[in-house]
Structure 1
Amino acid sequence: MSATKPTVDYSLYLVTGRELLPEGKSYLESLEESLQGGVTLVQIREKNADTGEFLQIARDSKAICRKYNVPILINDRIDIALAMGADGVHIGQTDMPVDLARKLLPPNAIIGMTCNTVEHVKRAVQVGVDYVGLGPVWSTQTKKVAHPVVGVRGIGELLEVLEGSNVKAVAIAGIKSTNVLHCLHGSVSPSGRPLDGVAVVSDIVASTDPLNAAKRLSTKIKAFYSTPSPPVFSLSPSPYIADALKQSVGSLLSAVKEYSPLVHQITNNVVTTQSANATLALGASPIMATAPEEMADLSKAAGALLVNFGTIQNLDGMLASGFNYNQNRKPVVFDPVGVGATQYRRTSAAALLNAWQPTVIKGNAAELGALANSNEVQAKGVDSVGQGFSDPAAFVRNLARKERAIIVLTGVKDYVSDGTVVVRLSNGHPYLGEITGSGCMVGTAVATFCAGASMAAASKRGDDAPEDGRLVRGDMLAAAVGGVLAVTIASEFAATRQDVKGSGTFLPAFIDELGALTPEKLAERANVEIL
């Protein structure tokens, strides 16, 4: 081993697995190409090789890693690490205790440990490991796991334990170039402590072109770490100014009318017509499609996606849609209608949020309270019961940090936050509460404004712009605020019309007023406070 403990870049951590190699690709050839593609740390894992074979593989691997100045670790086998002079070891929960491994290994050895629970992480910090492997993030065919899938949203809870320590963290299991940005973006502690990297197996080892497989991962990882943290959801200067926000919202309404984006909506069948009409009124084009087979194509054509599971009829379509829109870096708006009403809705919401990363999560107090596991507000079907949150501003800010998304809390007053800025909106008319689907149309309007924001940003950026680590581009905080204001302000204009006599005549007038909105009307009527 080297005289001093090496400085380790954990960002793209390759774990080998010779059994996954494609036909015609040798192990050492694959390893070298992966290093050329950007792998920064290598762990040699050999579960079936005898000691002599393992030792030879480790020595040959070390020679290649040294060519690229990349540290090499050995999985589990302290004897192999000592015999071939590895930079350290990785051990599991049932392997040799860390304190004994420290006694056997040189003091400069790197020691990492697999951790699946908060207690595992606490113990790892106590015994002084250098890094932890957190997961499994997703299920994987590479390795049978003894613990349940943690999921992207569960990694943040584990990272929280590491705050204040020098222990590094990588996510493990099921990570590929197609989900690495979701993993990095979503796996952050409430105070913003991110991962230090990701561990990858099959996406590189099983590839016929490991150099480019590693390069795809490395490019996305580097872009993510070069992006300001927390992610930039807002493009306005800080501190946020209400007048500037109103101006941004007006610009996004103009962008919707200019680009007329396609807005893909998987929504409940009670409000499909109203949602489509609202989309058209704002200047965009709706498409309602649920089949999983359509999602790859639609995600390339549409400007944004709304997933509203008021009537959960095609969960597979919902899972596929968000994943594909993440791949194309398009905004995803999630409206978890009635999520607290049944266990099926709660498990479905968890599955969706671990499969893809929403840009905006919109809901009433009961729905968002259920996502946050809060007992402050109770649900009655799709409605909220009780006085509401004691501090709604703090609630939306904290939930935005936890979910790494814009949070829209609807009610008598609406609250919008990206985890830093909190905006309180005080527009609307009681008639909104007397028609079916008004909340769902808020989700539609938010998705429409997000599509406008995304298309405007793409137009300014150009196709040849360098890669960045954002899941979406555009002012998504302003888009979320704009969607809420469009509905609430249109309701105020509609309610005062002479032809409106009640909720029955209100709905068509409301659609008319959505279509008549202008940036000037929004700016004049918007009651916006920055908290």
Structure 2
Amino acid sequence: MANLPAPPSKPFPHCPDRLGLYPVLPSADWVERVLDHGVKTTQLRRKTTDSGDLKQQIERSVAAGARHYAQVFINDHWREAIKAGAYGVHLGQEDVETADLNAIAEAGLRLGLSTHGYYEMLKALHFKPSYLALGAVFPTTTKVMPTAPQGLSRLTRYVRLLDGVVPLVAIGGIDGSVLRQILSTGVGSAAVVRAVTEAADVPAAISALQHEFAR
């Protein structure tokens, strides 16, 4: 596509085709907690300007991933993720042209990219990421979204278009009440936030969500 930087000369490593339940979490405490309950893919999305706190949170999350043989992605903070030896990095569309993708690939980290519609999917595929996040499927209150919710019918079309091309993660407003509908599209992973972090009984919530993937 015109005016995009070249993809890295070294490709990003592959990640599993079906990443399963994918909690996006605000702290290392949460990462450790969900991994202790059997989750195998998660993301630390730490919102802080405190470099010391960020370093500690990322290092703890990466260490927890190593202990549990789990895939821990770090949102946005790719330099710190490289230093900590993270499994992968997740970037938004606004970050992909400023981050050093060659450095991320050379360090052996996987790359996940957010997309919101066909144009951003094509743009993201140009960089040959390890997975694509497709959203927001439903309205979400966890962040301000640049586009209207995509809905299940669009998600279904995206999966038909990209299944077998790149691993896919559905994201945005997903909880236990809609997870079965999400998975009926054929997508191999679903990111959740409040379905875990606001659950009255976290182990039970994780078990119920994992059960939907095992059906």
TM value normalised by structure 2: 0.85
The 5 A counterparts of 1:516-527 are none
Shift of the 196–147 alpha-carbon distance from structure 1 to 2, 3 Å rule, reads same
CA contact (8 A) 1:6 1:87 kept: no
CA contact (8 A) 1:136 1:150 kept: yes
Which letter maps to 2:26? G
For 2:141, the equivalent position in structure 1 comes to 141
The 5 A counterparts of 1:5-24 are 5=13, 7-8=15-16, 9-18=18-27
Q: In 2, Cα distance between the equivalents of 1:158 and 1:6? A: 20
For 1:313, the equivalent position in structure 2 comes to none
Q: In 2, Cα distance between the equivalents of 1:59 and 1:203? A: 25
Q: 1:148-184 CA distances to partner (integer Å, 9 max, x unpaired)?
A: 100111112222331452x110100111112100111
CA contact (8 A) 2:140 2:172 kept: yes
Q: In 1, Cα distance between the equivalents of 2:60 and 2:99? A: 29
Q: In 2, Cα distance between the equivalents of 1:52 and 1:45? A: 16
Shift of the 110–133 alpha-carbon distance from structure 1 to 2, 3 Å rule, reads same
Q: In 2, Cα distance between the equivalents of 1:181 and 1:61? A: 29
Which letter maps to 1:179? V
For 2:113, the equivalent position in structure 1 comes to 113
Larger Rg: 1
Q: In 1, Cα distance between the equivalents of 2:192 and 2:109? A: 22
Shift of the 92–7 alpha-carbon distance from structure 1 to 2, 3 Å rule, reads closer
- How many residues end up aligned between the 2 structures? 203
For 1:175, the equivalent position in structure 2 comes to 174
Q: Relative contact order, CA 8 A, sep 6+: which one is greater?
A: 2
Q: 1:207 aligns with which of 186, 194, 199?
A: 199
CA contact (8 A) 2:13 2:105 kept: no
The 5 A counterparts of 1:23-42 are 28=29, 30-42=30-42
Shift of the 6–56 alpha-carbon distance from structure 1 to 2, 3 Å rule, reads farther
Q: CA deviation at 1:210?
A: 2.0
Q: In 2, Cα distance between the equivalents of 1:114 and 1:7? A: 16
Q: In 1, Cα distance between the equivalents of 2:151 and 2:20? A: 19
For 1:196, the equivalent position in structure 2 comes to 188
Local SS of the residue matching 1:174 = coil
CA contact (8 A) 1:55 1:83 kept: no
Q: In 2, Cα distance between the equivalents of 1:104 and 1:131? A: 14
CA contact (8 A) 1:121 1:161 kept: no
1:76 aligns with 2:63: no
Local SS of the residue matching 2:150 = coil
For 1:159, the equivalent position in structure 2 comes to 159
Shift of the 126–98 alpha-carbon distance from structure 1 to 2, 3 Å rule, reads farther
Local SS of the residue matching 2:207 = helix
For 1:97, the equivalent position in structure 2 comes to 97
Q: In 2, Cα distance between the equivalents of 1:126 and 1:5? A: 15
Q: Structure 1 or 2: larger helix share?
A: 1
**Unaligned segments of structure 2, at least 5 residues:** 1-11
Q: In 2, Cα distance between the equivalents of 1:37 and 1:83? A: 27
RMSD: 2.2
1:217 aligns with 2:197: no
**Unaligned segments of structure 1, at least 5 residues:** 19-26, 188-193, 224-531
Q: CA deviation at 1:75?
A: 0.6
